[in-house]
Amino acid sequence: MPKPDLFGDVPLLFANGRNYTSKDYQALLKDSNVPKGDELYNLVKDLPLFDDDIGVDVYCIHGKDQKTPELFRYADDGKFPDNQPTTEDGDGDGTVNIRSLELCKKFKTLVDYKVVTGFLATHLEILQRTDVIQYISDLLTKKNIQRREEGTSEEKKENRKTVF
């Protein structure tokens, strides 16, 4: 769910003669007849995403320049949410839009941020790229060497950050 403080009044979905933004989740859940929608929304709406140090190093790799659904329009035929929307595409990795992908930059413990384009740059294909596989392999090798150099005392093990 796009957070209202990050997505603001950008329309995400059109249905029932109105547009829904990230500030309209309660109305959207109600209009979609989601059982216990308010209850579910209230459980997650205030979860901190980028406010705190999450205790791990963060490495982000994603694709871009792929046609990605960005906006959903439902026909005003009274069948929402049971009919299929038409989509308007924007940039992203074919699954996740670029605005959401770039939120990774907000993590306080971000160590590295890489974007790949071109062949095999979609959400699912990216792990088939030799450059991405090599990057991850190099990163894991470097982390393993650092851990060995740190020693194996129980105290050091408890204070280490986990990477993944």
Q: pLDDT tens digits for the chain (164 residues)? A: 777 878 888 899 999 889 999 899 889 998 888 888 888 888 888 887 777 788 888 999 999 999 999 999 999 888 888 999 999 999 999 999 999 999 999 999 899 999 999 999 999 999 999 999 999 999 999 888 888 888 755 555 555 455 44
Predicted pLDDT of residue 66: 95
Tell me the residue type at 130: T
3 state SS for 76-145: CCCCCCCCCCEEEEECEECCCEHHHHHHHHHCCCEEEEEEECCCCCCCCHHHHCHHHHHHHHHHHHHHHH
Provide the whole-model pTM. Answer: 0.78
